[in-house]
Amino acid sequence: MSRAGAGGAAPLQSEPMGVVQAILWAAGRDLREAIRSPGELGLVLVFFLLVASLFPLTINPEKPLLQAIGPGVIWVAALLASLMGLPRLFAQDMADGTLEQLVIAPAPLGALISGKVLAHWLATGLPLVVVSPLIALQYSLDQAAMLALVMGLLLGTPILAWIGAITSALTLTSRAANALLALLVLPLAVPVLIFGASAVHAQSAGLGLGAHLSILGAGLIVSCVLGPLLAALAVRIAVE
């Protein structure tokens, strides 16, 4: 057994690990690290709640207007909140040498990164999905629209996590990593926001949300297939 990095990270196994084992190991490690820093996780959630809650206070509180802008505002707030947690996805591991150990570990690098992205979503994305119905109430969304919002966020926030992971790995060695990260993520996330918000509007209009959720589901499948490959390639380039 060897210890990954100088910061007391969980030990990497010296024997080869399979894909599922590597995902679970990396996810467990990062979740334990996240639990040790609850303030950072709480900051993401508070930011989401504040941004999404300020809009109803600054516009005409008419129900049709709130219902029209609510889904888009909530999705934008979720995107901005997810950006706050991205810099710590790889930067800390890069600084203490853990990332180099992950690259040379006897485990698929793509699986290890998948575990890190899973932990990132569980720590930052899933809480946003859980509290989104509370925000939806402020925009007078009915139960069907609220359900469409939650289902869209469940499918869309993991896509945002993968987009963020790939761009975070690409900007690891950049001096202006945070600014460059935002510039890369925002345009790539636009389709996710469009289909996510449109699902709520379609459900409210009685048109059904199946088409929009199907597109988000397809995007999630593509992200889970290509995301580990692209992120692993970017990490290898950054380490080397």
Report which secondary-structure segment, H or E, holds 12: strand 11-12
pLDDT of 10 > 50? The answer is no
| Domain edges within the chain | 16-239
Q: Where residue 175 falls among pLDDT bands split at 50, 70, 90?
A: confident
pLDDT of 130 > 60? The answer is yes
Phi, psi (rounded to 5 degrees) for 12: -85, 140
pLDDT score of 8: 42
- Residues near 75 by beta carbon (within 8 Å), at least 6 away in sequence: 152, 153, 156, 192, 193, 196, 197
Condensed to tens digits (0 to 9), the pLDDT of residues 56-69 reads: 888 777 888 888 89
pLDDT score of 12: 59
pLDDT score of 2: 38
